[in-house]
Structure 1
Amino acid sequence: MPYPSKLTPETIEEVAWTLFQAGGPDALSMRSLADALGVRAGSLYRHVDSRDALLHALAQRAARDLQAELVRAAEGHLPRNALQAAAGAYLHYARTHPHAYALLLVPDAHGPANGLATDAGKALWNTLLGLVGALSGDLDDTDHAVAVWTFLHGAASLDRAGIYGGSGPRGGIDLGVNAILDHAQDAGRRKRPS
């Protein structure tokens, strides 16, 4: 099989992303990727060091995609509504891209941390921190940002595990998000001079 001239790192990542999104980590091997690209597996190593390196790139992509979803959802809204919209986008992404979302939390072979510790993961965190800071008035409001992220991740994990059952979480997610946002907003009011 000749070496295809159109085989690029971007093409490889795009096809790997499609395979991964469809079937998770078990669906992504260098052989399955090569088959999908119509090349020999050895050809991939001209562009990708290893499967782990590819998963690292996909984790960064997942973080960038989730960040873009949060930004898009929040755009044009006042701070509280922006955070509510971003929370909805976060949960929607976790539900509709379960493998990509899970990849954010898997330890990375390129380091001791997970996909959230990549540059893209840090940018995602900074987006959430900025949204929270806009509501509370504290641009480094780590406490409330951690509370929001922890709550959303817990809700996403419970949803994925099917714990909510057929009735779903009902209004419980809105209740939890609003409780955290109320607290952040009140903290911001207490810090502002009257």
Structure 2
Amino acid sequence: MPAPAKTSDAAILVAARRILEAHGLGALTMQAVADAVGVRPPSLYKRFEGREALLAALESDTLARLGAMLGEAALGRAPLAALEAQAHAFRRFARENPHAYAQIYAPEATRGVEVDAARRDAVAPALEALAALVGAGRALAAARTLTAYLHGFVSIENAGLFRLGGDVDEAFRAGIELILRGIETGDA
């Protein structure tokens, strides 16, 4: 009878996510993850070919969690209200998971069939709401406009660079209102 597994892919991803959020991407090594789940590093290689495979799985998992938040935020809402709720969910996700968020938007973000599919799935709720608002032909361009605003705002916020005073939450709400109004009317 084979020995029972001492860990699972899910447990490994939970440990990797904790390390990532606590110490950043540089601290995410196979040794650190193995230590966190209580196995030796060779055991991890039975589940993930190496660090790059683990990072791809972690990125896919992060995208799935973000997509679930966006989908949940849109439930039962009209397209414009869904998009506003999704914008707030996106910001909350980025604030609660700054290192995971940075990983999915890094220039060296993982490429590959699985991660690309996870990326498409994550944005599907927003694309659906945008298509209902502006039509399928304009949805992708509108998504890029909205994403550029959201990513810029939360990246500056996560870096602690809003230092000129004022209410940052109000600035975010006002920005979302302006961007969505522009998308809706075709001015963005």
User: Does TM, normalized by the shorter one, top 0.5?
Assistant: yes
Partner of 1:186: 185
Alignment of 1:1-194 (within 5 A): 5-108=5-108, 111=111, 118-138=116-136, 140-165=138-163, 167-187=166-186
CA separation of 1:57/1:118 partners in 2, compared to 1, >3 Å: closer, same or farther?
same
**Could you tell me how far 1:127 is from its partner in structure 2?**
2.3
Question: C-alpha separation between the residues in 2 aligned to 1:137 and 1:110?
Answer: 30
How far does the alpha carbon of each residue in 1:30-78 deviate from its partner, in whole angstroms, 9 at most, with x for none? 1111111222112211111101110111111111111111111111111
SS in 1 for 2:136: coil
98-107 or 152-161, which deviates more: 98-107
73-82 or 163-172, which deviates more: 163-172
**Could you tell me how far 1:16 is from its partner in structure 2?**
1.6
Letter aligned with residue 123 of structure 2: W
- How many matched pairs? 184
How far does the alpha carbon of each residue in 1:97-147 deviate from its partner, in whole angstroms, 9 at most, with x for none? 001101102355864xx9996211111233221121122233652221111
Percent identity, aligned pairs only? 33
Q: What TM-score do you get using the length of structure 2 for normalisation?
A: 0.86
Question: C-alpha separation between the residues in 2 aligned to 1:117 and 1:152?
Answer: 21
> What stretches of structure 2 of length at least 5 have no aligned partner?
none
CA separation of 1:77/1:5 partners in 2, compared to 1, >3 Å: closer, same or farther?
same
CA separation of 1:98/1:115 partners in 2, compared to 1, >3 Å: closer, same or farther?
farther
SS in 1 for 2:106: coil
SS in 2 for 1:171: helix
Higher helix share: 2
**Could you tell me how far 1:185 is from its partner in structure 2?**
2.2
> What stretches of structure 1 of length at least 5 have no aligned partner?
188-194
**Could you tell me how far 1:8 is from its partner in structure 2?**
2.5
